[in-house]
Structure 1
Amino acid sequence: MSNFPIENKRKADHSINTVFTDRWSPRAFSNAAITEDELLTLLEAARWAPSAFNAQPWRFAYALRGDPLFQPLVDSMAPMNQLWAPKAAALVAIASFNFCTPPGATAPIPNGSHEFDTGAAWANIAMQATFSGWFVHALGGIDFEKASSAIHLPAEHQLHALIAIGKRGDPSVLPDALRERESPNPRKPIRELAVRGKFL
């Protein structure tokens, strides 16, 4: 259990497993380390995400804190993210392969759902992390060219985000602007997001 309790005021509109409302994205991490096996457990959850044609387009390049790749990934982040992400136990680059070979095809074709499917894999990581007592925070504020170079991203692949993984730490170490946001944020009511029938 965290030494820095946060009040979670999230309330689901319908009955769901609490892992969904317990999941949130802190920025204040402790110095706790993660083992490679613990990290691979999170990526194992991603491996079982659904995908079109079972193409499994998601790809991951990861670094534990202290690994040679860790600092280059930090260096690719926007300045505000560099204020907190270096304390993460691990960083993971999430990418996808842009092509697939459907059943019966003799050559790869463009995969129009590679981003959609990789999003499902990312969600599995986030949920497994919450279930396992870890926290994850996805970062889109990065220099994608710099990060892609750092991981030697192959051709015909697309980098989507970095994720920081760790245990929660002391929010007081964050800059004021970030500390004020260090709590589970709300969601729009389901009736604003889903309609029975046509949108308009």
Structure 2
Amino acid sequence: MLENLAETQYTVHDLIRGRWSPRAFSNRTVERDKLLSLLEASRWAASSYNEQPWSLIVATQDQPSEYARLLSCLVEFNQSWAQSAPVLMLSVAKLHFDRNGKENRHAFHDVGAAASNLATQAIALDLFVHQMAGFDAQKARTQFSIPDGYEPVAMIAIGYLGHPQTLPEALQAQELAPRTRKALTEFVFTGAWDQASDLVID
């Protein structure tokens, strides 16, 4: 397996260091019990008022017609590499609370939390997840009869890691490039906006 561990400034769990978003996937089938573990991990994410405003539309390559429908919602660039992933998903947010019918402005946050749980559990099982914004939300809504009050959020490719050499040359370079992140001083503030917290200033 290609190791692409994050070079963190401070100590974090290896499951977090090891999480990244490859584009090269193996054609190895994801076992049903592992896929169920990922879905169970998403189920136990925190959410506002425990509303759990996420739904997941899932297809595997063992379901060719359903897989093709999900794949067709991706933009052409993402289709070019995601078609090798054995599992595709679409996350969907419910935009209003069941408890009172009011707008749930935290719905997208909570769907993201569920997806993050799923991605972390994947690393624990030697699986990888690549989430994608590049898809046609309206086409997804039509393809899967997603009702009003729900919003497609992201497409998700899942599988075992493949060889970067299977990707076009430009994508190979991205696959092997060092991972980078903003410094803590760029987004952790105290006192006022854009004022770096003393906590993160060495």
Equivalent position of 2:31 in the other structure: 35
Tell me, in whole angstroms, the C-alpha distance in 2 between the residues paired with 1:19 and 1:157.
31
1:6 to partner: Cα distance: 4.2
Structure with more of its chain in helix, by fraction: 2
The unaligned stretches of length 5 or more in structure 2 are 195-202
Contact 2:4–2:20 (CA<8 Å) still a contact in 1? Answer: no
Measured in 1, the distance between the counterparts of 2:23 and 2:83 equals 10
Which of 1 and 2 has higher RCO (CA within 8 Å, sep 6+)?
A: 1
Instruction: State the distance in 1 between where 2:73 and 2:189 align.
Output: 40
| 1:177 paired to 2:182 | no
State the one-letter code of the partner of 1:88.
Answer: A
Q: Does 1:79 align with 2:73?
A: no
Residues in 2 aligned to 1:163 and 1:151: alpha-carbon distance in whole angstroms: 16
Aligned length: 192
Residue in 2 aligned with 1:22? Answer: 18
Give the TM-score normalised by structure 1. Answer: 0.90
Q: Which runs of 4+ in 1 moved over 3 A?
A: none
Query: How far apart, in 2, do the equivalents of 1:55 and 1:188 lie?
Result: 32
* CA distance 1:7–1:34, change in 2 (3 Å): closer
CA distance in 1, matches of 2:75, 2:56: 20
Compared with structure 1, are the counterparts of its residues 145 and 46 closer, same or farther at alpha carbon in structure 2 (3 Å cutoff)? Answer: same
- Cα deviation 1:128-151 (Å, max 9, x = unaligned): 101111000001111111122222
* Whole-Å separation in 1 of the counterparts to 2:147 and 2:31: 27
| CA-to-aligned-CA distance 1:110-141 (integer Å, 9 cap, x gap) | 11111111111111111110111100000111
SS at match of 2:76: coil
Identify the residue that residue 110 of structure 1 maps to in structure 2. Answer: 103
Q: Write the letter of the residue equivalent to 1:198.
A: A
- CA contact 1:36–1:64 (8 Å) conserved in 2: no
2:39 counterpart SS class: helix
Question: Runs of 5+ in structure 1 lacking a partner?
Answer: none
CA distance in 1, matches of 2:141, 2:154: 10
Q: Is residue 69–residue 151 contact of structure 1 (8 Å, CA) maintained in 2?
A: no
TM-score with structure 2 length normalisation? 0.89
* CA deviations over 1:24-70 (Å, ceiling 9, x no partner): 00000111101333212101111111111111101111001131210
- Matched residue, 1:66: 62
Give 1:131's aligned amino acid: A
Cα distance change of structure 1 residues 159 and 52 upon mapping to structure 2, 3 Å threshold: same
1:123 aligns with 2:116: yes
8 Å Cα contact 1:137/1:163 also seen in 2: yes
Say yes or no: does 1:94 pair with 2:87.
no
Q: What is the identity percentage for the equivalent residue pairs of Structure 1 and Structure 2?
A: 34
For the residues of structure 2 that align with 1:148 and 1:82, how far apart are their CA atoms? 18
CA distance in 2, matches of 1:31, 1:189: 36
Residue 133 of structure 1 is aligned with which of 108, 126, 130? 126
Q: What is the one-letter code of the residue matched to 1:48? A: W
Asked whether the equivalents of residues 28 and 168 of structure 1 are also in contact (C-alpha less than 8 Å), the reply is: yes
Residue of structure 2 equivalent to 1:196: 190
Q: Distance in 1 between matches of 2:111 and 2:45?
A: 8
* RMSD, aligned CA: 1.5
